[in-house]
Amino acid sequence: MIKSNIVSKECADNKDDGITTEQLVQSPDAWNGTPYERYPAGRPQLTVMRMTIPAHTSLPLHTHPMPNAAYILSGQLTLEEYETGKTQIFKAGEAFNEAVGDIHRGYTTEDPVVVIVTYAGVKGMPLSETLSNGSLKD
């Protein structure tokens, strides 16, 4: 029988074996305070992506139709919410939850960023949807 848990709670609680755990993020809300309402209907499909974004790069305005969480491996990423202009900077070693349905973008400054993103969607659902104009209002 194959267990689906790589590290069980019992194993993680046993400090004598050298295994440590650190909760990186847990919240019913996204980074901007938007609450999560529900997971998408359908058979779950998890997707884990490693993204490398060059320095001085702005991602297009987009939304996510599903909850997702990200972890910054290196560099820093600024998230910007379209409606309010609210921004927040996430640096290497930090994790955050992205909003479902809120228009936003991410951008880098002097250094590239490497981020791991985990999406909790359903088969056939796009991970993000880019806006046609792709830029923020002036």
Give every residue of the chain whose pLDDT is below 50, as ranges: 1-5, 136-138
Rounded Cα gap, residues 97 and 88, in angstroms: 12
pLDDT at 17: 87
DSSP the chain: ---S-SS-HHHHH-GGG----------SB-TTSPBP--PPSSSEEEEEEEEEE-TT-BPPPEE-SS-EEEEEEESEEEEEETTT--EEEEETT-EEEEPSS--EEEE--SS-EEEEEEEEEETT--S-EE-SS-S---
Rounded to whole angstroms, the Cα distance separating 136 from 138 reads 6
Q: Which residue, 88, 44, 96, is CA-closest to 69?
A: 96
Residue 1 has a pLDDT of: 41
Can you give the pLDDT at residue 7?
53
pLDDT at site 5: 47
- Between the CA of residue 131 and those of 82, 89, 107, what are the distances in Å? 11, 22, 16
**pLDDT at residue 38, rounded to an integer:** 92
What is the C-alpha to C-alpha distance for residues 39 and 29, in angstroms, rounded to an integer? 13
CB 92 within 8 A of CB 73: yes
- Domains in the chain: ranges and CATH: 31-130 (2.60.120.10)
